Structure 1
Amino acid sequence: MVPTRPGTIRDGSIPFSQSLVIMPLSAQPSRNSLWRRPEIGPLALNVAVATYLLVLCNTTFWRKLGKIFAGDPGHVMLFGAAVAMLTLFTLMVFTVPRLHRPVLALLILVSSAAAYHQDRLGIVIDREMVQNIMRTSVSESKQLLSPSLVIHVLLTGVLPALLIFVPRLRYPRLRHVLWRWPLSLALTFALFAGFLFTDFKAFSAAIREHRDLMAAYQPGATIAAVTRYAKQELRAQNIKATPLGTDATKGPRLTRAGKPVLTVVFAGETARAQNFGLNGYARDTTPGLRTRNVVNFPDASSCGTSTAVSLPCMFSNLTMDGYSHTKFVGTENLLDVLTHAGIKVEWWDNNTGDQTIAKRLGWTRIDKNFDPAACAEGECTDQALVTLIDQKLKTITEDTVLVLHMIGSHGPSYYQRYPRAFAQFKPECTTTEFTQCTPEQITNTYDNTILFTDHVLSQAIDLMQAQDRVVPALLFMSDHGESLGENGLYLHAAPRFMAPETQTKVPFVMWLSPLYQRSMGITADCLQGKTSQPVSHDNLFHTVLGLMDVQTTVRNPDLDLTAGCTAAAG
């Protein structure tokens, strides 16, 4: 019988619970074995993992740091040393038997995936991005799993995560852990602060003025983002929405309309203003709308750069400066106010869901059972929304607001957003691997999605124009824009402070039927006179109330684009 070495606790092939008991000689590793698992201490493992994360998962961080302190390698080294100590400190927090290696493996996997999206697409992992990930659909998630992402994560995430379970870990005995662990934490934190304070003025200025620097640091940025998201959701869980606009009533123009008034609100997806033909784009991506007497607002800004932020903001009475998820959850929104006024509201979704906007009213998802032809390729194109409008026009008997959440131009699989007949701009990018496509191909494919959105809106207008059962109006506004590779950025969801205008400028058009203009006394000519002014998502809440002639104290005439355009109904 041979005892184990006194004074150590092993976390490896020897279970933690058996690490201090006497073991039979036959149960121990053979000294003549061809291969024996190496044995290291937890500090050595932490240093190895920290080095790996800093070298292979922080390319974007080092590039940004080098650019900020260009020509000053001393500051790059000192700030880099501070970040190295911060990384080591983070790993040491979890240096506890049984918890240690699983957490390290998880951090490697997360950092690997984050690094791919940062380095290849310019995406920043922040709270809003985590919120987008948590609220995305299964279908959308599948589209993001490109072959290059899978290979990258397997090689730089899964493989090294598995390798950290190979060595046998030798932990100090408990009485030593009780003083060594806090001492190690204190020492690494002190070194972190020490390196930072060698020139705190310069480093703090760099962090303050270049917020994208630490937003690129892994795993710190992801840990912070997940923590902030968790806090946000915990705060929102027990919040009960405060009633809003309970004094809402139908105004005289609506009550005297003679027929049900229908306003169709198309909540667009990822359409950017720069590629919208009506806004002066070199290509005519909106030939249909150009001939249908729409009112176009070329200078429209979004509240956020992602659906999870912009869509709730659009339908709330909060301005983009005052918006927060907690505030949104804490009060009712446009749909509730319309309901208080006795107007029927329906939300139909061809995207990732209602983002809790319609949770008190309910919503319906478009699927292949609703329109097999529009869903023949697996996912439903927005042609299904035209079918929906056609059906509703035959059955509506009361004043209604129909909200249609489009799939629009959602990337990266732009080529799946339109039927083959709308592949007007070629060659296309028929893959989610942007590295395999030229900038021209990516732009061509994206422009085809705008062209198809134009077709959908034009068909909807034609259907409403051709009938005489309801008094129709239409409003289209995109939730956010999209980056197509400009300055190394792709897709959307960049933090608002650093987001380019391609992600924050969106199309915004309205169409008022001649019948609507006569019945409701709001003329397109009057609205046309306002198109030179900047508008934003702030206007949507109040403008829809104005279009439906809803009288309520929460309707702000300064944000209602129909204000000043009303006349006696004729």
Structure 2
Amino acid sequence: MVWGLALWLALVGNLPLWQRIQGLGGSLGYRVALIAGLGALLTCAIAALLWLFAWPRVFRPVASLLLVVAGANSYFMWRYGVVMDPTMLASTLHTDVREVRDLMSWSLLGALLLVAGLPLWALWRQPRFLHGGWRRVGHNAAGLLAAVALLVFTALMSYQGLASLMRNHKDLRYMANPLNSVYAATWVAAERLPRQAKPLLPVGEDARLGASYDHQARPPLLLLVIGETARAQNFGLNGYARDTTPALARWRAGGDLVNFSQVRSCGTNTLVSVPCLFSPLSRAQGGDQPADRENLLDVLQRAGLAVLWIDNQAGCKGVCNRVPHVYTNEQPVPALCPGGECLDAAMLDGLDARLEALDPARRARGVVLVMHQMGSHGPAYAARSPDGAKPFLPECRSNALPECSQQELVNAYDNSIAYTDRFLDQALQWLSARAAQGRNDTGLVYVSDHGESLGENGLYLHGVPYALAPDQQTHVPMVAWFSSGLRQRAGLSLDCLRARSAEPLSHDNVFHTVLGLMDVRTRVREPALDALAPCSSAG
């Protein structure tokens, strides 16, 4: 059973990998040699893994899990070009019921039956292990040694061709199924979980409000919108052929909105990008790793400001744990939450009342409000915009994206971007009204957490390892709008910002930019990473 399962998993469980190698080109003999060598390596490696679990009451559950995991991995590699690395597994573990529902399809069931059905039937028809003890230890040890010896022999025989293959096509190492999941699970258990168990290091213990708060006429109110899965190339403001952002274009024409066209994300999935976006560490410093210290919201709250996080997604990934936070699905608005899943406009419902519920003393100093969008979260792009707000038709309404035509897929995605434009327009109208009423000096910063692939090079969705990620998954949109009152208190020059709007920025800049804009003084703020500092007389 060990060797039979190992051979099945290596061959049938890795059909996407063999298909990928077939597409690399070269002679037929060269490709057959690569598949034979890599197939033998995977068979031996999987057999060695199975021999470790060849114990009574252990083998069949573990083997069954590997089969199901292999089937699921095969489906997502086939359908979306998604591979399983440590960050993808960690993100999967944080997936909520709504996201799982969006991924369910008959084709997923078919892939599971193809890869796991027959071997599961055979596995559970076999008689259970009846002996253990030293006899089982010796049997397993012999099997393990044989598997390792064959693995070493095969590696030596195939080294030259496979080493060149892996060097030139690094993505293939993430397609070795189900060993990719075993490696990812080991990494998560060894690296991410211990970090999460440790208390967070304090950040900005010296944080205080600057001179702009002395005798202020109106408290500042900054709305920070964290977009979801919006890619810059489909944003009309960035020169996209379609006008997906007509409302933002009007705000820009009015002179108060600036579009930053060259912004890079910290990661390719929400679990990495959102904590990194609020981290005091840059990506190079480890901001893309599991958080081991407090974040921007902690510093703002420590300085005495009111902070509120409103979430319309699958949670804040730990960022909002120590500040007031609410979730739209806890009190759904019937008109905006069909089927229990809310449109982003639900975050604007009753917003004045939410602000009034914050601590009065903090609110009198200033407010930072964060909204975490559902945005363009896939694969159910059509669900991200209401029926009355779909300018691009016909659209893909299936979550099995390759089954749709490319134009229908792009239409559905562009409709979600157009709805984000509509949502931001409503938010800007609300902020503008509060400024006009003399209640706050208001501003908005919008930036997406990561981008998305829409079939380019056979890739869909997101989550490709960062070093291999295409531009569509890391180039994200970002805009900023400031009322005249906020510009005055921050000493901002819009002409300067517009002139510098095409300069490279990234999520690394957000922490320091927000602190500078809100005039929070602390040693952890680095002026060199404040995107607004070059255009601010306040420094």
TM-score of the two chains, using structure 1 as the length reference: 0.87
SS in 2 for 1:90: helix
The match for 2:33 among 58, 66, 74 is 74
Structure 1 residue 377: Cα displacement: 4.3
The match for 1:63 among 5, 16, 19 is 19
CA distance in 1, matches of 2:245, 2:196: 42
1:327-406 counterparts in 2 under 5 A?
328-367=290-329, 369-391=331-353, 397-406=364-373
Tell me if 1:259 matches 2:215: no
The answer for the alignment partner of 1:6 in structure 2 is none
CA distance in 1, matches of 2:215, 2:231: 38
The answer for the alignment partner of 1:40 in structure 2 is none
Larger radius of gyration: 1
Q: Contact (CA 8 Å) 2:270, 2:450: kept in 1 or not?
A: yes
Tell me if 1:432 matches 2:399: yes
% identity of equivalent residues: 38
1:36-51 counterparts in 2 under 5 A?
45-51=1-7
The match for 1:507 among 445, 463, 477 is 477
Q: Contact (CA 8 Å) 1:428, 1:442: kept in 2 or not?
A: yes
The match for 2:236 among 261, 268, 277 is 277
The answer for the alignment partner of 1:225 in structure 2 is 184
Q: Contact (CA 8 Å) 1:257, 1:519: kept in 2 or not?
A: no
Tell which deviates more after alignment, 156-165 or 282-291. 156-165
The answer for the alignment partner of 2:360 in structure 1 is none
CA distance in 1, matches of 2:517, 2:322: 23
CA distance in 1, matches of 2:405, 2:513: 41
Distance 1:552 1:199, change over 3 A: same
Q: Contact (CA 8 Å) 1:288, 1:454: kept in 2 or not?
A: yes
Structure 1 residue 101: Cα displacement: 1.8
SS in 2 for 1:116: helix
- Where do 5+ consecutive residues of structure 1 fail to align? 1-44
Structure 1 residue 325: Cα displacement: 6.0
CA distance in 2, matches of 1:506, 1:329: 22
The match for 1:149 among 101, 105, 108 is 108
1:201-350 counterparts in 2 under 5 A?
201-293=160-252, 294-323=257-286, 328-350=290-312
SS in 1 for 2:60: helix
Q: Which has the higher helix share?
A: 2
Q: Contact (CA 8 Å) 2:266, 2:288: kept in 1 or not?
A: no
Q: Contact (CA 8 Å) 1:270, 1:481: kept in 2 or not?
A: yes
Tell me if 1:136 matches 2:95: yes
Q: Contact (CA 8 Å) 1:393, 1:464: kept in 2 or not?
A: no
Structure 1 residue 67: Cα displacement: 4.8
The answer for the alignment partner of 1:488 in structure 2 is 458
SS in 2 for 1:330: coil
The answer for the alignment partner of 1:53 in structure 2 is 9
The answer for the alignment partner of 1:547 in structure 2 is 517
Q: Contact (CA 8 Å) 1:308, 1:355: kept in 2 or not?
A: yes
Structure 1 residue 520: Cα displacement: 3.0
Structure 1 residue 388: Cα displacement: 4.5
Tell which deviates more after alignment, 360-369 or 501-510. 360-369
Tell which deviates more after alignment, 204-213 or 283-292. 204-213
Q: Contact (CA 8 Å) 1:246, 1:337: kept in 2 or not?
A: yes
1:101-112 counterparts in 2 under 5 A?
101-112=60-71
CA distance in 2, matches of 1:275, 1:322: 30
Amino acid at match of 1:367: N
Structure 1 residue 69: Cα displacement: 7.7
The answer for the alignment partner of 1:444 in structure 2 is 411
Q: Contact (CA 8 Å) 1:68, 1:206: kept in 2 or not?
A: no
CA distance in 2, matches of 1:69, 1:555: 51
Q: Contact (CA 8 Å) 1:112, 1:157: kept in 2 or not?
A: yes
CA distance in 2, matches of 1:514, 1:349: 28
Q: Contact (CA 8 Å) 2:280, 2:287: kept in 1 or not?
A: no
Tell which deviates more after alignment, 74-83 or 115-124. 74-83
Tell me if 1:186 matches 2:148: no
CA distance in 2, matches of 1:382, 1:423: 15
Tell me if 1:564 matches 2:523: no
CA distance in 2, matches of 1:258, 1:366: 33
The answer for the alignment partner of 1:526 in structure 2 is 496
CA distance in 2, matches of 1:568, 1:166: 75
Structure 1 residue 193: Cα displacement: 1.0
- Where do 5+ consecutive residues of structure 2 fail to align? 358-362
Give the paired residue count: 524
Q: Contact (CA 8 Å) 2:10, 2:39: kept in 1 or not?
A: no
CA distance in 2, matches of 1:56, 1:372: 46
Structure 1 residue 425: Cα displacement: 0.1
Amino acid at match of 1:243: P
Structure 1 residue 163: Cα displacement: 2.7
Q: Contact (CA 8 Å) 1:253, 1:568: kept in 2 or not?
A: no
CA distance in 1, matches of 2:538, 2:271: 40
The answer for the alignment partner of 2:44 in structure 1 is 85
CA distance in 2, matches of 1:459, 1:324: 32
Distance 1:181 1:197, change over 3 A: same
Q: Contact (CA 8 Å) 1:212, 1:498: kept in 2 or not?
A: yes
Distance 1:256 1:208, change over 3 A: farther
Q: Contact (CA 8 Å) 2:218, 2:441: kept in 1 or not?
A: yes
Q: Contact (CA 8 Å) 2:223, 2:369: kept in 1 or not?
A: yes
